[in-house]
């Protein structure tokens, strides 16, 4: 569909955004449903993000927010969802009832990716979480909501890990912290999640070496994605551990945002097919 003056504008805001696959699958979904909209990626500074968020939403569109502007976005919206309040981050925005709304659909993305990998929710699971940044916050929120039994946050900064643990700790969920996986010799986990940025750049060290670790892992989910598969996912599979990268999380969070924007379920299979065509392999 050729854009017109009535076309609704949607954008991914962040810095950088040139690597993002969101325009690929969001535009594929828009075309499939015959919607008069377009989705683009806009690199912007933090100071410009609030104005762009409000302008795009009030122009009848909306969008997503990626690093490093998710915390800025949380303060820019008029109505923040419970997930935004709990995580302190917003990655999806739109206009409703004359106000700019925001949600953290990364939470739904993590939950969907876990279900796709394990074939079930994280209810009752013991989970090792590598990292304590924004992606980790969404992961802990998803795990807590799903009813995980135990979460161990491993991060180089004990203070940051403790801060994340305290934000989500409840009587129903046991959340511990460790500075290194070496502090957990011989422990067993149903799932390990990499929420660090390790793997984005060629030559990055593994967030956890499955060949050197004494941990027993049931499965591994890498929130990083790359063409093909990340090195961490590859090494986990070599070790015989079921593993998946961040493409399914990307699809699931995008589908949740799509429902906010258009009020209809996203054609997830179409989104996956668009990613397969781009990456040359199954995105699920």
Instruction: Name the residues annotated as catalytic.
Output: 70
User: What 3-state DSSP class applies to 152?
Assistant: strand
What are the structure tokens assigned to 222, written together?
């890498």
Q: Is the dihedral angle over the CA atoms 188, 192, 198, 204 positive or is it negative?
A: positive
Cβ atoms 209, 236 nearer than 8 A: no
Cβ atoms 270, 32 nearer than 8 A: yes
Strand ranges for the chain from DSSP E:
8-14, 37-43, 62-65, 79-80, 92-96, 99-103, 126-130, 150-154, 174-178, 188-189, 191-194, 216-217, 220-222, 243-244
User: What 3-state DSSP class applies to 234?
Assistant: helix
Cα(107)–Cα(143) distance, integer angstroms: 9
How far from 67 is each of 14, 72, 109, 133, CA to CA, in Å?
6, 10, 16, 11
Closest CA to 13 of 51, 109, 29, 30: 51
What are the structure tokens assigned to 230, written together?
């990340």
Q: Is the dihedral angle over the CA atoms 4, 8, 12, 13 positive or is it negative?
A: positive
Helix axis angle for 247-262 and 106-118, nearest 10°, is 130
HSE-CB at 214 with a 13 A cutoff on CA atoms is 7
């Amino acid at each position: 569909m050729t854009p017109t003056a009535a076309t609704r504008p949607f954008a991914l805001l962040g810095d950088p955004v040139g690597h993002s696959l969101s325009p690929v699958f969001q535009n594929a979904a828009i075309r499939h449903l015959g919607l008069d909209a377009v989705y683009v990626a806009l690199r912007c500074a933090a100071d410009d993000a609030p104005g762009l968020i409000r302008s795009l939403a009030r122009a009848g569109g909306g969008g997503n927010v990626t690093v490093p502007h998710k915390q800025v976005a949380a303060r820019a919206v008029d109505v923040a969802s419970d997930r935004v309040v709990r995580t302190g981050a917003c990655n999806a925005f739109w206009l409703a009832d004359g106000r700019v709304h925001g949600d953290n659909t990364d939470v739904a993305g993590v939950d969907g990716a876990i279900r796709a990998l394990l074939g079930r929710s994280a209810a009752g699971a013991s989970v090792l979480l590598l990292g304590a940044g924004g992606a980790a916050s969404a992961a802990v929120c998803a795990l807590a909501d799903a009813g995980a039994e135990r979460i161990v946050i491993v991060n180089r900064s004990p203070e940051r890990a403790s801060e994340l643990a305290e934000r989500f700790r409840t009587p129903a969920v046991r959340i511990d912290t460790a500075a290194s996986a070496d502090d957990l010799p011989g422990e067993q986990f149903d799932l390990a999640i990499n929420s660090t940025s390790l793997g984005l750049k060629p030559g990055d060290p593994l967030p956890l070496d499955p060949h050197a670790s004494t941990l027993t892992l049931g499965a591994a989910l890498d929130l990083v994605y790359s063409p093909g598969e990340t090195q961490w996912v590859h090494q986990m599979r070599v070790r015989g551990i079921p593993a998946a990268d961040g493409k399914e999380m990307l699809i699931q969070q995008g589908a949740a945002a799509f429902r906010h924007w258009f009020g209809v379920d996203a054609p997830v299979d179409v989104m996956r097919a668009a990613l397969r065509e781009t990456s040359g392999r199954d995105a699920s």
